Amino acid sequence: MPISRRHFLASLAAAAALPGTRSLAQEAEPFPVRPNDEKQIEYKYRRREVEYETAEPPGTIIVDPKKRYLYLVLGGGKAIRYGAAVGKAGRTWTGEAVIGRMEKWPTWTPTPEHIAEFPKLVKWQAGMPGGPENPMGARALYLYQGDVDTIYRIHGTHDPKLVGRKKTAGCFGLLNTDIIDLYNRVQLGTRVVVLEY
């Protein structure tokens, strides 16, 4: 007996609802991505579509470090708003850039400043492979000005409790589920505007 499209979709939904099963999106990931991470952050930092007036064209990313939000402009006075971790005092960056590189489960290499502050990180000076403990999380968007890597990134996080706080070394961290969502909506060359702190 042939299976209808409706029956097939209903079967997928039922399987996804079973405890201990993984969705097709999770199946494609080499490491676990926990959708429940959003429960560890304040409600206001959870991803949602919002009213957002800006002169920037659709597709632009705007980071508002004061409010600790990142917006993807949709146009028509709308944007998708994501909660973000931003740079702590003395480690901030503002300006304009473009996404010059995009990576899934990126390698993280601590800077000399990281190692000076946390000497145990010296073991990763050649790079920490992507994975659940990697501070870059599930995806990274590398910010460039012209051909120059700014060393700033929009990336996931291994610690959801950082979202909504001024705790990073200057990068902008999102929940892994959120960085995957953003990564799938942007492309190389996407304009990024970081507002003043």
Number of domains composing the chain: 1
Q: Give residue 142's domain range.
A: 40-194
Is 6 contained in some domain?
A: no
Torsional class of 62: left (φ above 0), alpha (ψ -120 to 50), beta (otherwise): beta
Query: pTM of this prediction?
Result: 0.85
CA dihedral over 35, 41, 42, 46, signed as positive or negative: negative
CA dist 176 and 83 (Å) reads 11
Is 16 contained in some domain?
A: no
Q: Residue 25 contacts by C-beta under 8 Å, 6 or more apart in sequence?
A: 33, 180
Q: Give residue 124's pLDDT.
A: 96
pLDDT 10s digits, 67-76: 999 999 999 9
Is 33 contained in some domain?
A: no
Is 98 contained in some domain?
A: yes
Is 141 contained in some domain?
A: yes
Report the Cα 9 to chain-centroid distance in Å.
Answer: 29
Q: What is the CATH number of the domain that holds 92?
A: 2.40.440.10
CA dist 151 and 156 (Å) reads 15
Is 3 contained in some domain?
A: no
Enumerate residue ranges in the chain where pLDDT < 70: 1-27
